[in-house]
Structure 1
Amino acid sequence: MKRIFIACQGWNYKDWITLHEPVFYPRGTQIDRMLSIYSEVFDAVEVDSTFYAIPNKSVVESWYRKTPEWIRFALKMPREISHEKFLSKESFKTLEAFIDAACVLQDKLMAILIQLPSYFEANRTNALNFRNFLRQLPKHLNFAVEFRQDKWLIDWTFNELTRNNVSLCLVEGEWISREKMFQAIEHIKNDFFYVRFMGKRDITTFDRIVRSQDENLIIWKKALELSSAKTLLISFSNFYEGFAPESANKMRKLFGLEPRMPVDRQASLF
């Protein structure tokens, strides 16, 4: 039986604050209260801000302090490592500093996402950097690699990931065909598996579903059931359907989990 965590990609969205009809956060919710409320609803969250810079330890400590013991965090690795230095040895010092900050979350740190850009070409130089980088990763943490070129989804890559106990992260988006991603699922031998649902960045407000993906979610759910992983993390972007909490709840229902929303969305925090 898999343990399934379903998350939103972030929690700090003003569009989630109730104005008239219930949305997610109660009316008048301040930014510094959002994470606390979010973590009473969902048991996992993906943090995007770490992609842009290594967070101060005091910030990470505040995430730990504001959340209950059951919450789990997935942090995106800084782009300096993945998008600028392409996993080369010049990135190792930044990697060490980032891991040091991330570990302030202690047992709430579920995974670290290594999101590689679409221009990370499948060539010999990048392959050697990739292999050496995986060897630098601490073995006691969950890491998952997201490729945005299907040329990386080959046996060599799967073997390197398995050898280093690093998972593959699949992403529903415009980069790799669903067929090739589903074929990759059978190659994932790790106990941990990560899937992210993205979308076209043409949605401008995030308070309701505007692009229903119900049929796609059913297709994905059936595919994910074939994974042998013991722990599955699924995260949703607002850009997938327009309102990540509702997308997360749709997937919860498909897996037989109870949908969750804050109890007092109509209440005012003033």
Structure 2
Amino acid sequence: MGTSGFIYPHWGGGVFYPEGLPQRRWLEYYAERFDTVELNVTFYRLPTEGAFQSWYKRTPKNFAFALKGSRFITHIKRLKDCQEPLELYFERARLLKEKLSVVLWQLPPRYKKDTQRLKTFIESLRPYTTCRHAFEFRDASWMAEEVYELLGEADMALCEADWPGMPQFAPGESITTGFVYLRHHGPGGEWGLYSGRYSKAFLREEAERIKALLKQGRSVYIYFNNDAEGWAVRNALELREILK
């Protein structure tokens, strides 16, 4: 359990990071309180080798990184002819070694279902199965049985996210493999998307669901993305406390 990203300037000054703590030490502080982080930076650009090596060295032995797949692959190439960019991406990502836990492939809104292209892309991921893979679709056309079957056959997860306009899943409907990937973008608020505080009632309900999944022997990745006003870290800490 963790947050989507850890470097937000508005988390400093005591909101999450203590007053006076330099940003270069934020990851260590974060990793003392959470066992995983989802990195958004890998969606926008490919970090340097030194960045990956630094993340590895600055986190505890059992820390897990979830990386967002490159938008060049998902939004520009739209999963087509991706062998070369995949090789480059994983050449860097592998520097996280055993701490590279999962890669999230987030597709763009209004990108309609293309089952054959998804199948071809999944096949292109076969050399990169030392980590797990999850897909976040942002067009409702992808919510189809043939897509679930493709992901299940490949042992890949369907990311469940509370994205506006996307259908909510019935219990168990989104489970395609032995792990579950949950993203909470925020209930909304004065700052719009990625804002607002999830209620205690919501978090208690989520805790019961997570307990049930764990009891089934499934791994659960859950990331809060409501970074505005620091609610992501607060909600993650609240949920963790409920789960104790």
**Is the shorter-chain TM-score for this pair beyond 0.5, marking a shared fold?**
yes
Matching of residues 61-76 of structure 1 within 5 Å: 61-76=53-68
State the match for 2:21 in structure 1: 29
Choose from 40, 59, 73 the match for 2:32. 40
Q: Residues 202, 41 of structure 1: CA spacing in aligned structure 2 closer, same or farther, 3 A cutoff?
A: same
Matching of residues 128-143 of structure 1 within 5 Å: 128-137=116-125, 138-143=128-133
Q: CA deviation at 1:32?
A: 1.1
Q: Conserved in 1, the CA contact under 8 Å of 2:197 and 2:231?
A: no
Matched, 1:192 2:156: no
Distance in 2 (CA, whole Å) between partners of 1:224 and 1:154 is: 24
Q: CA deviation at 1:30?
A: 1.5
Instruction: Report which of the two structures shows the higher radius of gyration computed on alpha carbons.
Output: 1
Matched, 1:159 2:145: no
3-state SS in 1 of match to 2:149:
helix
3-state SS in 2 of match to 1:151:
helix
Q: CA deviation at 1:29?
A: 1.5
Structure 1, gaps ≥5 residues long: 1-5, 257-270
Q: CA deviation at 1:240?
A: 7.5
Choose from 91, 95, 99 the match for 1:104. 95
Q: CA deviation at 1:187?
A: 5.2
Distance in 2 (CA, whole Å) between partners of 1:70 and 1:223 is: 24
Distance in 1 (CA, whole Å) between partners of 2:92 and 2:217 is: 27
Q: Deviations over 1:115-151 (max 9, x none)?
A: 11112102xxx22111000011122220000111222
Q: CA deviation at 1:225?
A: 4.3
Distance in 2 (CA, whole Å) between partners of 1:229 and 1:154 is: 25
State the match for 2:236 in structure 1: 248
Matched, 1:83 2:105: no
3-state SS in 2 of match to 1:82:
helix
Q: Conserved in 2, the CA contact under 8 Å of 1:73 and 1:109?
A: yes
Letter in 1 for 2:122: L
Q: CA deviation at 1:177?
A: 2.7
Choose from 156, 179, 197 the match for 1:211. 197
Letter in 1 for 2:180: F
Q: CA deviation at 1:210?
A: 5.2
Q: Residues 142, 229 of structure 1: CA spacing in aligned structure 2 closer, same or farther, 3 A cutoff?
A: farther
Q: Residues 255, 95 of structure 1: CA spacing in aligned structure 2 closer, same or farther, 3 A cutoff?
A: same
State the match for 1:116 in structure 2: 107
Distance in 1 (CA, whole Å) between partners of 2:189 and 2:131 is: 31
Q: Deviations over 1:221-260 (max 9, x none)?
A: 344445445210100013478521111012212322xxxx
Q: Residues 186, 238 of structure 1: CA spacing in aligned structure 2 closer, same or farther, 3 A cutoff?
A: closer
Q: Which moved more, 1:239-248 or 1:45-54?
A: 239-248
Structure 2, gaps ≥5 residues long: none
Letter in 1 for 2:149: N
Query: May I ask how many residue pairs the two structures share in their alignment?
Result: 238
